[in-house]
């Protein structure tokens, strides 16, 4: 059995074990699911066909989505107008609309009755459609890709009348529950569509880390009030990053306010808590074009992560987000089970290892079936790109 992360306390390990339903005589293996990988070199052609093939290779999505309300959490993190090398964010750090649109169309064709495209803006409570327009994309191409498609900015109360509470089974590692926009509770299926990239302080920013943007900025962002949620979101989720304060009154507080305030300790555990509270049923990773790391890497001269635009030319999908992220890590040239201190987890605990311990999914490549193109034929070591 692999050793548990050295930075875990005994209480954390026991809590994760209990939450995963582990027996006192040993631990059950976290579930594993096939990850399908395909070469796709351009957003201009081939994305719908490649994604359809991936869905077929993981066993199809009809049983998962037919007759269901499907929520799709996309990745549009950071400033809406920021550029890397004057390249639009769709090609650097945001989920590309062609991938979103293809997923919406295929999910609609598979029988979903309602599809909600979700992301939380950290700048305002404007409609999510405006973010697409600011990014230079017509949101109607996605809204019209299937029947009953909606978009919602989940950074605030949005179109709901009240926030919905999502409990972490077993109590969580940092938070026991999260208050979220209604769309994350009023859905049957959760899809996370992430960009293939590193994160300077969280190691990887893939389908698991993408879900950190689900809790609203009005409660967990820098604009949050102390007595009640803010009217509008703005600023970063510093509360998550370094635990500088607790959420507003009425929202569940941290389990232990004396736990480490280190970003690399907190964010991996909060990520696990969020995904346990709002499970991801389908993970899609857009690695057609991307950048090697988050924008903050460019601000740190001693960073090992060089901010470089790259074209891995790859799409991946799985019914398990941990398995998807493990294969994605390997495609980037990393070991998904690396310990803290080893690339890409120099500054943080390994979120995938924590998620595996919590019973979400397998991070060990030996336990994951890879369908489609072999990893070795698509691997693009991010740290070697200059």
Q: Give the model confidence (pLDDT) of 57-110 as tens digits.
A: 999 999 999 999 999 999 997 665 666 777 888 999 899 999 999 999 999 999
Q: Is 20 a domain residue?
A: no
Q: pLDDT at residue 15 above 50?
A: no
First to last CA, the chain: 37
Burial class (CB in 10 A: 0-12, 13-18, 19+), 10: exposed
- 3-class state of residue 314 by DSSP: strand
139 with 90: CB under 8 angstroms? Answer: no
- By C-alpha distance, which of 306, 312, 304, 313 is closest to 386? 306
Q: Give the span between the Cα atoms of 359 and 78, in whole angstroms.
A: 30
Q: What is the pLDDT of residue 294?
A: 64
Q: What is the pLDDT of residue 306?
A: 72
* 3-state DSSP helix/strand/coil % of the chain, to nearest 5: 30, 15, 55
Q: Give the span between the Cα atoms of 151 and 353, in whole angstroms.
A: 33
Q: Give the span between the Cα atoms of 23 and 38, in whole angstroms.
A: 38
Q: Give the span between the Cα atoms of 82 and 247, in whole angstroms.
A: 29
Average the pLDDT over each of 23-32, 60-69, 237-246, 327-336 and give the range with the smallest value. 23-32
Q: Give the span between the Cα atoms of 196 and 359, in whole angstroms.
A: 23
Q: What is the mean pLDDT of residues 377-386?
A: 91
Q: Is 169 a domain residue?
A: yes
Q: What is the pLDDT of residue 79?
A: 64
Q: Is 86 a domain residue?
A: yes
Domain count, the chain: 1
For residue 207, what are its two tokens?
A: 């389908």
Q: Give the model confidence (pLDDT) of 184-239 as tens digits.
A: 999 999 999 999 999 988 999 999 999 999 999 999 999 999 999 998 888 889 99
Q: Is 214 a domain residue?
A: yes
Average pLDDT, the chain: 90
Query: What's the pTM?
Result: 0.91
Q: What is the mean pLDDT of residues 295-302?
A: 48
Q: State which of 139-148, 199-208, 292-301 shows the largest mean pLDDT.
A: 139-148
Q: Is 342 a domain residue?
A: yes
Whole-Å CA distances, 283 to 71, 122, 316: 12, 23, 8
The angle formed by the CA atoms of residues 189, 150 and 99, to the nearest 5 degrees, is 70
For residue 354, what are its two tokens?
A: 């924590």
**Residues in contact with 27: Cβ distance below 8 Å, sequence separation at least 6, in sequence order:** 1, 17, 20
Q: Is 1 a domain residue?
A: no
Per the structure, the complete domain to which residue 323 belongs is given by: 32-379
**Residues in contact with 131: Cβ distance below 8 Å, sequence separation at least 6, in sequence order:** 76, 80, 119, 121, 153
Q: Is 385 a domain residue?
A: no
What are the E-state strand segments in 301-341? 309-310, 314-318
Share of the chain above pLDDT 90, in %: 78
Confidence of residue 27 (pLDDT cuts 50, 70, 90): low
What 8-state DSSP symbol labels residue 105? Answer: H
Q: Is 206 a domain residue?
A: yes
Q: What is the pLDDT of residue 301?
A: 46
Torsional sign, CA 244, 247, 248, 250: negative
Q: What is the pLDDT of residue 200?
A: 85
């Amino acid at each position: 059995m692999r050793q548990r992360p050295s930075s875990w306390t005994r209480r954390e390990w026991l809590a994760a074990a209990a939450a995963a339903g582990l027996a006192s005589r040993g631990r059950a293996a976290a579930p594993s699911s096939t990850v399908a990988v395909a070469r796709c070199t351009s957003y201009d052609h081939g994305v719908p066909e490649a994604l359809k093939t991936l869905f077929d290779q993981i066993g199809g999505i009809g049983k998962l989505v037919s007759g269901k309300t499907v929520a799709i959490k996309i990745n549009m993190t950071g400033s809406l107008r920021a550029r890397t090398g004057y390249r639009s964010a769709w090609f650097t750090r945001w989920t590309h609309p062609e991938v979103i649109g293809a997923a919406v169309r295929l999910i609609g064709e598979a029988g979903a009755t309602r599809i909600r495209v979700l992301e939380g803006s950290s700048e305002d409570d404007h409609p999510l459609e405006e973010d697409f327009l600011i990014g230079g994309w017509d949101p109607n191409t996605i809204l019209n890709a299937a029947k009953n498609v909606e978009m919602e900015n989940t950074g605030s109360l949005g179109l709901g009348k009240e926030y919905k509470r999502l409990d972490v089974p077993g109590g969580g590692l940092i938070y026991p529950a999260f208050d979220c926009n209604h769309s994350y509770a009023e859905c049957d299926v959760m899809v996370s569509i992430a960009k293939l990239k590193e994160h300077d302080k969280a190691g990887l920013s893939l389908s698991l880390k993408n879900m950190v943007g689900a809790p609203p900025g009005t409660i967990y962002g820098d604009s949050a009030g102390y007595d009640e949620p803010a009217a509008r979101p703005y600023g970063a989720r510093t509360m998550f990053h370094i635990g500088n304060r607790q959420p507003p009154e009425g929202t569940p507080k941290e389990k232990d306010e004396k736990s480490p305030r280190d970003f690399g300790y907190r964010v991996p555990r909060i990520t696990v808590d969020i995904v346990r509270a709002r499970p991801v049923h389908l993970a899609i990773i857009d690695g057609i074009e991307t950048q090697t790391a988050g924008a903050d890497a460019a601000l740190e001269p001693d960073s090992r992560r060089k901010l470089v635009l790259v074209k891995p030319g790859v799409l991946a999908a799985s019914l398990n987000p941990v398995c998807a992220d493990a294969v994605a890590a390997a495609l980037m040239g990393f070991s998904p089970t690396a310990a803290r201190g080893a690339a890409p987890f120099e500054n943080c605990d390994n979120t995938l290892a924590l998620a595996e311990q919590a019973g979400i999914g397998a991070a060990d490549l030996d336990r994951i079936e890879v369908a489609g193109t072999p990893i070795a034929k698509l691997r693009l070591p991010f740290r070697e790109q200059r």
